[in-house]
Structure formats: structure tokens, C-alpha cells
Structure 1
Amino acid sequence: MTQGPASPLPAPKERRRLRENRSLTQADMAARLGVSRATVRSWEAGRSAPRGPVREAYTRLLLADPALPRAEVNTPQEDVAPELVGAGTGTRAGAGTGTGTGKKPSSRVGERPGRNRVEARIAEELLAGDGNEDSGLSEPSLTPAQAFDALYSFCAPALVRQAYLLTGRRELARESVERAFQQAWYRWPEVAVDPDPAGWVRATAYEYALSPWHRLRPRYRHPEAPPADAADRALLDTLLDLPPVYRRTLVLYDGVGLGLPETAAETEASTPAAANRVLHAREAVTARLPELTSPEDLHRRLAELASAEQLRAAKPRTVRWYGERRAQQWTRAAIAFTALLIGVTVLTLGTAPDHYEAPLAPPETIHGLPPRAAPGPLSAAEVKLRARLRAQEMNGPERLIPENR
């Protein structure tokens, strides 16, 4: 018998059993509720729970009589993200409250319009992921290249716009995203099994974009052309004047729309520290732009600023090719350096002495000895003596010859 809307939600362990009793797969349940399969998997694992109309529809589907015909349920609703304590009205900027007011949640930074409901939900989870749900891209039927291309197609356009908000440079934003995905492709076995591959790539892109070493590169020593609109220029200058860690926290929380715990985890800070960074960043923005006092207005203006520039990412196949080429170059460089090191070591072993040789003492001058006399000309007496000796005959004894006996 079908239960009423007020029926309690079954325990996480019972949800899967009830779904299987109705002969429904996770994909069927996700299609009926207008959510992703990763969300249904998270509900059944107990990592999260539905809220609002989605909770009521999910409960009706689980507790419905299997013998009754299946009814389509189309009540998609955004889960309400927790708001910053003491800084808002209890709901995130642009998120629905689940009270049936009909207020449509605002789009996240870089989200492309024109998607159907299910595709938009999957794209949102990939772009902003909560760190607890799988993205659903690592399917056994997909090859690594296809899974990478799917992740890149969902994340790259939005990440380029987010990196532009962090750096204010168009080329650096594209380069940061491409380098992040090249690193992801190089370490794809690790990224593919990560609970939040989009968050992994986003963190890598942010780290590369905010690296202080870019200021030493000649091509990034001079600023790029600012946005054409004066309001966009003022907002971008305000963002760039913030410290990098405050800027990153503000973009993640008010731009991308992550929750406070997820923002703190991605910025490697505690939740209170992330909350203080958001508060101080908002105060700095409102001090220069008083019209952005409301978090909803700030979220909308960040989305408009990110979408104002025509920022396009390269094709996934190109990114994979450059990533493989870069990996080959680094491998060849490592092999060449190792061979050079081995050659230098062998040459050193061959030419180095194999025994100890005592060093020669430096020469020293000895004092107190008479100088050595050089031979000079003969005197008159010596000449007469030499002549007399030469004139005399040798009258000495005969040479003795031994006799042989």
C-alpha cells in the first residue's frame, strides 16, 4: 500500500533493498527523481539524504507497492547547501529553500545553458562536487580516454572562467586548466578512482594559477587588457587586490557554490578559518563595491564577470596529446641525465688515482754555505807541469799477463 507524503524515510541499508524489490536500478531511480545516479548511490550509502520534495518523492517510490504501475515523478529540486554561520539567512546564495516558493536556483560560475535537467545536475556535481559522491565517469564500459574526455568536457569550460577570476589573465587561465588536465591524464589511474575527480582537477588548476613563480615569466610581467565594462573592471580589480588564499576561498564559496566544509577541505584550512576568510573577503569587496552587500548579488556578479570573457578551452584530444608529449620529453630528459651521470662517474673512476701519492715539499733556500767555485784558466806553473808530464815517457812496469798453466 502506498504510504503518504509524511512517511518516514527508510534507513540507508533498507533503501537499496526496497529499490531492488521494485526492480529499479539506480539509473531508473535517478531518472524518475531528476537527480544523478551518483546522488542515489550516495543516499543508499548513507553519505547524504534527500530534502524537500525530492525526499517525499523518494520515499513514495521506495515504499510504493511493487504491484502498482510505476508513476513518473518529476520533482527535481536542489539540495540546500549549508550557509555560513552568522553571515546569511540560512541558505546559500542562489539555492532553493525547498519550501515550494518556486524560486529557481541561480547557475554556477561557468555553467552552460540549454542542458536538460539530468545533464545539468551531473555537470553541476562535476563542477562543484561535494567531495563525497562519485562523479559517475569511471564506468567499466568507458575507455580511459573516453572517461577523460567526458570529465574534460564537463569541467574545462567552467574551470577556465574560474581561473580567470583568480588570475585576471586569459592565457594563464587556459594554461592552468590545460596543465591540470595534463597532470590528471598522466596520473589517470589515481584520478579515475578518486571520489571527486572534478575537485582533484580544480585544486590542481587553482594551485597552478596562483603560483607566485608566474610573475618571473617575461610574458606575464605586464598586465593584460582589462574587461570592457567598467563594473567588471572594478570587480576584477577588487578580486585581484585580495590575498590569494582569500580570493580562492571566495571564488569557491560564492562563485562555484561549494559548501563551507568542502571549501575548507579544498583550501587546506579548518572550517572556522574558511568562514573567517569568506567574511573578510566579503567585507573587502563590499567596502569598494557597496552594491554587492548581498551574497546573492555577489554570486550573480561573479557569474556575469566569468561569462563576460570569451574563454575557450582546447579540445580534450589536444590536451591528452600534449600531456603525453610532455611526459615523453620529461622521460627522455631523465634518461639522458641518468646516462650523463653514469658516464661522468665511469670517467672519474677511470682517471682518478688508485693509490696515495705524498705531495712534494716546496723548494727552500739554504743559507750559510760557501758558493761553489767554477773551474778557471790554468796558471803558468800548472801549464809547465802539464807539459812536463806529457813529455815524459811512461817507464812503469810492464803489463802483467797471467800465464795459463
Structure 2
Amino acid sequence: MTQSPAPPLPSPGERRRLRERGALTQDQVAARIGVPLKTVRAWEAGRTAPRGRKREEYARLLAAFAEPGPGMTAGRGTDGTETTEPTEPTEPLERQTSPDAEPSGAGPANGTLTPAQAFDALYAFCAPALVRQAYLLTGRRALARESVERAFQLAWQRWPEVAQDRDPAGWARAATYDYALSPWHRFRPSHRHGEPPPADAADRALLDVLLRLPPPYRRTLLLHDGVGLGLPETAAETEASRRATAKRLLHAREAVAARLPELADPSGLHRRLTGLAAAERLPTTKPTTVRVSGERRARFWTRAAIAFTAAVIGATVLTLHTAPTRYRQPVPAGKTVQGVPPKPAPGPLSYEQEILRDKLRSQPQNGPERLAPEAR
């Protein structure tokens, strides 16, 4: 009697990618197979591997998501740049890449990717999902697209650091969220007017509830219930303690449930967030355009910094050259004297005053005679 061989399983990185393609969280996979959450995390991290019936169910679940996704169509955005967007807006909200995932695109003959090819693969895989997530954070389509572009421009400037990061997609997601939630956007002229809301009434209500939440609560809710991160990963990405993150998550869920009671279940909220983001057609710029515009921006600011430094040095040199070397007392402005001028203080007589004095002394004095006492 021969034993049937165990079904093959994909690599740990491919397991995570397939789960995210199917819009499932690790909690949902654990519930379907009947194992603890930590077991699914260990399977995706490659620390352990399932056996027996659990292995068959896990392999069958991943095989259901192994079909290729929808194609991409090219177009142009509102600003004239070339964009790409999915033909079917059904891509899950939490689709991300992992360090173990195999990037798309052909590399050199030795099988490795150049920095530009690796960046393009990361952008093509992460940008569509990040644009939808940024839209849920801000409610603005143009700002969502701009946030993703700025995040990847920064990633390209720091590519040696990003390429060696354990989670490049998480790095790009954090940069996108930071730019999208920046408070300085409120002072931009383009943000004085709102954008058209979603067409569906239920989507409008959900987006309105999200935008009423404080930014930290909104970010925590999206990462945990939308993207599907665990509480430790959410706390690490939001730079908060687990206790503070749990309180933010509970308060955000209570606020959503108070306005929309049908979304009190986290799994139902996850499906609605995914559907709200997928209902919007949010095109993304091509990775080559993002790289080129990022390089131009970096050159512009570098030249601006050099010009500003040169101007400061020139002004300093000019000041040192023209500044006086000793103190000069300023001459006070003249003032109008009212009434009789004061009697000048005694001092040496001028030449005219001496002539006048001699003339007065030489002339006899007119007037009554003076009485002089006589001595007896």
C-alpha cells in the first residue's frame, strides 16, 4: 500500500501574496482551516509547514487564488501623464508585496534585477492598492495619486535603503500615509473645494464616517480592518504602543458602528472598505514617469539649495567688505528752538567779541554819576 504524496505548497512569500490576492486576512485563513492565527503567520513566515489534512486544505485554498489577475490598460491622466489602471476594479485593498515575492519584469541574463527594474516592479505591484488606501484616508482622488507618487519618488532617492528593508511595501505604505495625512494640505488652494463624492449612497455614508475620524484613528482602522495587519504590525507602523493602538481601534469601530450599525462586524467592515476603494477608478502614473519626475525634483531642490547657500555666502562677504571698522557717532537731526535761547555757558571770547569788548571799554559811560564813599 502506497501513501499519496503531500500536495505541494508555494514559497512563504508566494503564500502571502496569494492570500492577499484573494482579499483574505490571516484571521480569515485561520478560521477557514481551523488553526490559530499564530500558525498561519508561521506558515507565511516559513518557520513551519502544515501537515496532513491541514496541508491539503491550505494548498487547496491557495490554489483557488493562483489564477492570474485582470490585465492592465494604459491611458492618460488629467495632467497629461501616462497612467495604467486595472480593467476590472476588483483588486483587493490589502494587496502588497513581500521581500520573498518574486517581482515581475525581465531582468538581465544572470537573473538579477537592476535597481530601476526592481523599483518598477515594486511600484507596479503596490501603487494601485496604495492609491485606493490613500483615497480612503483623504477622500480626494488627486491627493491620493500624488501621495503615492511622492512616496515612491522618495523611495527612489533612498533606494539602497529601501531595497534592503525587510518590507519595502510597508516602507512605501508608511510614506504614502504620512504624506496623505499631512496637515499642510489644508492651506492649498486646490483643497478649498471638495471633490465629487461616490455615486453609491452607502459608499458616501462610509466615506463620510471615515473622514470624520481623527487621522490617527482613521489610519489605525484602515491598517487593521482594511489592509489586514495585526495589532503589533499596526502599532509599529503608526509608531504607537499596542495599548494605544487597541484603544484607537476600538474607538474607531464604535464611531463607525454608531453611524452604520450594519458595519459593527470587523469582517463586514473589511468587505465594505474593499468595495468602496475598488468602486473608484483611480489610475496610477507609470513607474518610469515617477522615477524621472523624482530625479528632476531632486535636481531642482539640490540646485536651489546650492543657489541659496551661494547667496548667503555672497551677502556675508559683501557685509564684511562694506561694514565700518570703528564706531561713528551719528549726527542728531536739527530741532526747532522755541522762545528765548538759553544763555551760553562762559568760555573764551571770539575775535569779534574781543573787538566789541575793547570798543565798549574805550568809550565813556553815559548816565548818572556814580557815588563813591570817601575815607575820613
| Pairwise same-fold verdict (TM > 0.5) | yes
TM-superposed deviation, 1:287: 0.5
Cα gap change, 1:279/1:291 in structure 2, threshold over 3 Å: closer, same or farther?
Answer: same
CA distance in 1, matches of 2:94, 2:269: 22
**In structure 1, which of residues 148, 151, 157 is the aligned counterpart of residue 119 of structure 2?**
148
Please state whether the residue corresponding to 1:75 is helix, strand or coil: helix
Residue 236, structure 1, aligned to residue 207, structure 2 = yes
Q: Does 1:33 align with 2:9?
A: yes
* Secondary structure, aligned partner of 2:59: coil
The verdict on how the C-alpha distance between 1:50 and 1:212 changes in structure 2, with shifts beyond 3 A counting, is farther
Query: Do the aligned residues in 2 keep the contact of 1:127 with 1:158 (CA within 8 Å)?
Result: yes
Q: Does 1:162 align with 2:146?
A: no
- 1:368 and 2:367 matched: no
- Summarize the Cα distance change of 1:53–1:76 in structure 2 as closer, same or farther, 3 Å threshold: farther
Q: Residue 350 of structure 1: CA displacement?
A: 1.7
Q: Which runs of 5+ in 2 are unaligned?
A: 17-40, 72-90, 335-341, 363-376
Q: Which secondary structure does the structure 2 equivalent of 1:311 belong to?
A: coil
Matches within 5 A, 1:27-106: 32-37=8-13, 48-51=47-50, 56=55, 75-77=59-61
SS in 2 for 1:283: helix
Match of 2:303 in 1: 332
Aligned to 1:283: 254
Superposition RMSD on alpha carbons, in Å?
4.0
Q: 1:43 to 1:348 in 2, by over 3 A?
A: same
The reply to whether residue 343 of structure 1 matches residue 343 of structure 2 is: no
Structure 2 Cα separation of the partners of residues 237 and 263 of structure 1: 23
- Written as runs of structure 1 = structure 2, the 5 A alignment for 1:169-188 is 169-188=140-159
**One-letter identity of the residue aligned with 2:10:** G
Tell me the amino acid that sits aligned with residue 48 of structure 2: A
Deviations 1:345-384 (CA, angstroms, capped at 9, x unpaired): 2212222334x346378699872348865779xx9xx9xx
TM-score in terms of structure 2 length: 0.68
Deviation at 1:5, TM superposition (A): 9.6
CA contact (8 A) 2:94 2:227 kept: no
Stretches of structure 1 that go unaligned for 5 or more consecutive residues are: 7-28, 58-72, 79-101, 106-111, 116-122, 383-405
Alignment deviations for residues 156-178 of structure 1 (CA, whole Å, 9 cap, x no partner): 00000000000000000000000
Contact 1:126 1:154 in 2 (8 A): no
Deviation at 1:343? Answer: 1.2
SS where residue 329 of structure 2 aligns? coil
Select which of 174, 177, 185 maps to 1:203.
Answer: 174
Give the one of 226, 236, 243 matched to 1:255: 226
The 2-side partners of 1:45 and 1:253 are apart by: 18
In 1, the alpha carbon distance for the partners of 2:120 and 2:331 equals 74
For residues 246-291 of structure 1, the C-alpha deviation after alignment (integer angstroms, 9 at most, x for no partner) is 1001111111111111111101112222222111111110100011
User: Relative contact order, CA 8 A, sep 6+: which one is greater?
Assistant: 2
- Aligned: 1:353 with 2:327: no
Offset, 1:337: 1.1
Separation in 1 of the partners of 2:256 and 2:329?
74
Q: Distance in 2 between matches of 1:366 and 1:351?
A: 43
Map of 1:220 onto structure 2: 191
Pair member with larger Rg? 1
